Amino acid sequence: MSDRAAVFPDVDPRAHHPHRPNATLYVAVFVALAVLTVTTVLVSYWHLPVLAAVIVAMMIATVKASLVATFFMHLKGERLFIYGILGLTAFFVLFLFILPISDQGFLSSKMTHTNVAAEAEAP
């Protein structure tokens, strides 16, 4: 009996199943990412209002990031705990994006421009 069989009695040393990446799947994900990148560039020529442009760009970026995380970072086969941590992270990222955006809308009406250089030159 080999040392490996003594340490791992449930594993059959003759049954070796190497992890073989599915090249077709990776190429399909790459093509999807390329199409989404071209879509992002084409959407930029639509001259949407700023808010709509940001929302469309973030939606496309979210789909691209989820493809990368799912297939290239191998999160597709992970357990539920990993998805919980990923969801919590996404929640905080959204919160940290929304917080300054909402603050800017609140503070923009209260801001005034002061010409400090002109005041310094005044006698």
This model's pTM is above 0.75:
no
For 54, half-sphere exposure in the C-beta direction (CA atoms, 13 angstrom radius) is 6
- The pLDDT tens digits of the residues spanning 6-64 come to 555 565 556 555 667 788 889 999 999 999 999 999 998 998 998 888 899 999 999 99
Q: Look at residue 42 in the predicted model and tell me its pLDDT.
A: 93
- Total of domains in the chain: 1
Q: What is the mean pLDDT of the chain?
A: 80
Range of the domain at 55: 3-121
Residue labelled with tokens 């209002």: 49
Q: Give the contacts of 53 (CB within 8 A, at least 6 positions apart).
A: 43, 44, 46
Q: Torsion angle of alpha carbons 63, 67, 68, 71, nearest 10°? A: 170
d(CA 19, CA 77): 13
C-alpha closest to that of 51 among 111, 94, 109, 101? 101
- The pLDDT tens digits of the residues spanning 69-109 come to 888 877 776 777 777 888 899 899 999 888 877 776 666 66
Q: Look at residue 107 in the predicted model and tell me its pLDDT.
A: 66
Q: Look at residue 11 in the predicted model and tell me its pLDDT.
A: 57
Q: Are 71 and 29 in contact (CB under 8 A)?
A: yes
Q: Look at residue 73 in the predicted model and tell me its pLDDT.
A: 79
